[in-house]
Structure 1
């Protein structure tokens, strides 16, 4: 077993940390220094995970594409950042041979002896009736749950109060379940107007500035993908904290202005905004540290509480903004423990097949410079550390290739992250970006949600970011699903009476021809809707019904998710729909029919539970790997209904 020297950074900065409140925690003072220890984990091969040996492959990757009319794949599987040479060495849309996950269902098994990777193991999402059956077997009736009361309970604070040690330490150092729960006290939220989180609790404070006790944490406000929007059932807070030297001037004194400069400079580096005149080193006590485009400095922390949706929460009276309920589904955490620039490794560099981490403490090594930790609800709704089987879902999205200079850990990742991160690259490049995450300025008045922040523009595609989503997915999320509330509003807006070429239509599943006709028409009409900017209000904000659920839908979504909590079936998926999503059904014509692992063709309308694999040539590199095609046509132009987009870049203007 390897050890991670959790005190490495802190030891080197020990002379700079005096006076930051590190000894003001009475509980920590009762524990001698000898009881502290380095983080120690063990290795496990994901092939042994019970129920789902491929948690790094999200449930969205198993969806159909409406015969190529929907392409949600582009938001993860892209070459864009790789071609820019910044922050991502994991191109997934054809920039390297045999890897184009926009065109292929290329599920790759760990070995030829491992279970098939081309099976949909996300049973909660694929067949929600199996989840309900598990709940019923526990003698639980979800209809009896008072969900509005449930989501207003504070389970995060209770967990935080169990974290031993000082919250200025990224790792408390004590061998207990919450040692890597981020040192962000929820009682100190929301952040102040400048985004900094300040506290009156001495153990939370790095230094005192002119506004109060600064914890070092700063809120990030970013444009979400079609994953973490209120419409999908979850809302986020995102916070960043750098190591102590980034908060200090050259004399070693804490300095708010210096810290602000360093955070701004880091944002430029992550968002590819550095110029020839940009500083090459950070400021103050961190002046010896180089600014690296697309890379965070060692010691960076990111905290991500993932909340339930509360449509009654609007950020007023000191409450959290953006429909954030008090209760969290999870608290996620990233710590950059290695000085690693993703661009120093090539896509073909080897990686390991075992995951290093600790189930009792809820953390894993992502194999690409970061430790990932996560705390999720137990069956009673209290937070607990996640297991490695659960945290491997995180590695699936927050990872990349490594040069092999460290222990060979399991890696995965997508093509759209910058140094394994999603949020900071998409934060607003202004003071608006240093605020609590508010989902484009969500405001709820008389039960109606609106936004106050205009739609941001994708600076590489040159169109609105939400417009890009609608144009390529014909849905409100990455599952290709349009909630009924959105369907009703689109039906009222898109009609020949309003000078559209046709009337908005439901998807027809009578036969393959009617299915193709209806999804093609929907794509055409939604693109008309986008080109006319009818998805926007006059002030450039996105119409609320596209982003925010009605109260009943939010409550029922939470009720379905709580079934996962009650059964602890996270390994089978966290996204639960009222019924199997339409995008999991086989509506193809026989000429392009998908087949099962054994080559048996699917019948029209059948649920796709597994996909075809290459069995013809056992000596080929892709033996037993997925070889199904998505039907996204790389030669079909956008104006002809094409959706292929290999070089998507997540950066905003």
Structure 2
């Protein structure tokens, strides 16, 4: 891609012209901090939608790209991107050939050494979510969403056994398989995801009904995954007034069949193949790695980020097709990615979703992300071929009844992806050549790989559960927490959010013609959905 012009920053009220480049008090050659770019409203990286992982050296054989870039032979899919050709291709703009994620190339060993184990443990065990909610509620000028969940920092207090928030807020946590491999605890973060449907999906005749809500949540899962039947926690068809299993009798059931319409007050809304209904919300917390004295790993109370999505506009498959075409046309005309900013509400991804996010300030309090920091979100939640309605986690939920409840790595094993027979994480490690995209997680290499660099298949297959497979040692967990804390101190998120301990070796700083393309046998067709019935 050549001839690109300096991109405008698009706002909800029109186009905002970029200010002049950062100057005083910095001189040429100075290492300008990320905060200066934001303070001067100077765009640091117009190609921030290219994630750091896209600069991984493949050496012609190592392919982490397939997890995002796919070309399905399924004309029913609303995701029409078909971008499998991007696996290992480095098809960036001229500006994108330079890797702007310079935090990847910073050795943090000395900075980490200055933080004690006790100090970082105290840090990660603090609740910074509740103060965020209190601050937003108290701000009369705040125009964005407010998403309180009582005791969210301590999940065992926040949710019941089926994942329903105990505060009656309507949020429901679900158990899903973490996406490989950025979201594996061994690579820096823990996390969770909650879903909430609009009031009509939770009520019948204007009154809340858990039976209605469970049924509609299950129907959403069926629609997104393209299922014909699904198991559910026990539901009373009599309370709903609808025969959900097709046996002609209203009774208490634990399985429902696919149907054309949702139930309760949403009974006029049709299910749409692989699409969520309008006003579906997701809340995703990215947390530090909790670790106790015995080395047990858990989701820490302190959150690195709180991420929010709301489907503000339902788009049909045809409308989505037009949106994908528009994106392709913009790229063909060599334009940089455009981001529509909505002020306090976040950004519009132009596919029907509003995205917003909060990240730690220097004191560790969660703050709204700056426009440039938010633009990063479009890299994953806009146009990549593997997503389901621009999302990841819900398509990876443990299927049916067993998947309703807070994420529990000990309750899952390494099941295969749809259409495959070998465990997903085993397959990933074999295709990538490591336990992370960058092939630099030495602990994973020592645990699960042979001395010749090949995966020890039998050892991986013998892992009791996902917890055993993808959680770090106490020592690594503490080091990763410290590494990220130094990024917080710097407020250098524009330069990368990956908690790397030392300089990345298998990542390109500059893309050039010397990069060996992936060999055809190392390109893969893959579906992020999972064969849970084989568990």
Question: TM-score normalised by the shorter chain: which range applies?
Answer: 0.7 to 0.9
- Distance change in 2, residues 1:92/1:629 (3 Å): farther
**Correspondence for 1:62:** 55
Deviations 1:408-428 (Å, cap 9, x if unpaired)?
A: xxxxx2111111101000001
SS, match of residue 197 in structure 1:
coil
TM-superposed CA distance for 1:40, in Å, is: 6.0
Note if 1:420 corresponds to 2:393: no
SS, match of residue 137 in structure 2:
coil
1:564 counterpart (464, 476, 487): 487
Q: Which has the higher contact order (CA 8 A, sep 6+)?
A: 2
Spell out the pairing of 1:615-634 with structure 2 (5 A cutoff).
630-634=516-520
Q: Using the alignment, how far apart are the partners of 1:156 and 1:557 within structure 2?
A: 21
TM-superposed CA distance for 1:216, in Å, is: 0.9
**Correspondence for 1:88:** 79
- Distance change in 2, residues 1:343/1:103 (3 Å): farther
**Correspondence for 2:275:** 295
* Conserved? CA contact 2:320–2:351, under 8 Å: no
Unaligned runs of 5+ in 1: 1-38, 94-99, 110-115, 166-171, 200-213, 316-320, 400-412, 442-451, 495-503, 506-521, 585-607, 613-626, 637-642
Deviations 1:281-317 (Å, cap 9, x if unpaired)?
A: 11111011110011111111100011100122999xx
Q: Using the alignment, how far apart are the partners of 2:292 and 2:17 within structure 1?
A: 44
**Correspondence for 1:128:** 106
1:356 counterpart (340, 356, 373): 340
* Conserved? CA contact 1:105–1:630, under 8 Å: no
TM-superposed CA distance for 1:273, in Å, is: 1.1
2:265 counterpart (270, 285, 306): 285
2:433 counterpart (474, 496, 500): 474
Q: Using the alignment, how far apart are the partners of 1:581 and 1:366 within structure 2?
A: 31
**Correspondence for 1:433:** 403
SS, match of residue 349 in structure 1:
helix
Note if 1:332 corresponds to 2:293: no
- Distance change in 2, residues 1:219/1:61 (3 Å): same
TM-superposed CA distance for 1:84, in Å, is: 5.4
Cα root mean square deviation, aligned: 3.0
Note if 1:77 corresponds to 2:61: no
* Conserved? CA contact 1:88–1:417, under 8 Å: yes
Spell out the pairing of 1:507-546 with structure 2 (5 A cutoff).
522=453, 525-526=454-455, 529-530=456-457, 533-537=458-462, 541-542=465-466, 544=468, 546=469
- Distance change in 2, residues 1:609/1:282 (3 Å): same
1:365 counterpart (348, 357, 369): 348
- Distance change in 2, residues 1:466/1:150 (3 Å): same
SS, match of residue 424 in structure 1:
helix
* Conserved? CA contact 2:432–2:439, under 8 Å: yes
SS, match of residue 308 in structure 2:
strand
Q: Using the alignment, how far apart are the partners of 2:118 and 2:16 within structure 1?
A: 37
TM-superposed CA distance for 1:141, in Å, is: 4.6
Q: Using the alignment, how far apart are the partners of 2:341 and 2:392 within structure 1?
A: 22
2:363 counterpart (380, 386, 394): 380
TM-superposed CA distance for 1:630, in Å, is: 4.8
- Distance change in 2, residues 1:221/1:609 (3 Å): same
Q: Using the alignment, how far apart are the partners of 2:220 and 2:481 within structure 1?
A: 36
* Conserved? CA contact 2:61–2:519, under 8 Å: no
Q: Using the alignment, how far apart are the partners of 1:323 and 1:45 within structure 2?
A: 45
SS, match of residue 330 in structure 1:
strand
* Conserved? CA contact 2:188–2:499, under 8 Å: no
* Conserved? CA contact 1:270–1:425, under 8 Å: yes
* Conserved? CA contact 1:87–1:417, under 8 Å: no
Note if 1:259 corresponds to 2:213: yes
Note if 1:582 corresponds to 2:502: no
TM-superposed CA distance for 1:355, in Å, is: 2.0
**Correspondence for 2:32:** none
* Conserved? CA contact 1:217–1:239, under 8 Å: yes
* Conserved? CA contact 2:288–2:481, under 8 Å: yes
* Conserved? CA contact 2:190–2:288, under 8 Å: yes
TM-superposed CA distance for 1:482, in Å, is: 3.1
Q: Using the alignment, how far apart are the partners of 1:84 and 1:348 within structure 2?
A: 15
- Distance change in 2, residues 1:455/1:103 (3 Å): closer
| Aligned length, in residue pairs | 461
**Correspondence for 2:249:** none
TM-superposed CA distance for 1:573, in Å, is: 0.1
TM-superposed CA distance for 1:341, in Å, is: 3.3
SS, match of residue 281 in structure 1:
coil
TM-score by length of 2: 0.79
- Distance change in 2, residues 1:146/1:342 (3 Å): farther
**Correspondence for 1:605:** none
Q: Using the alignment, how far apart are the partners of 2:13 and 2:191 within structure 1?
A: 29
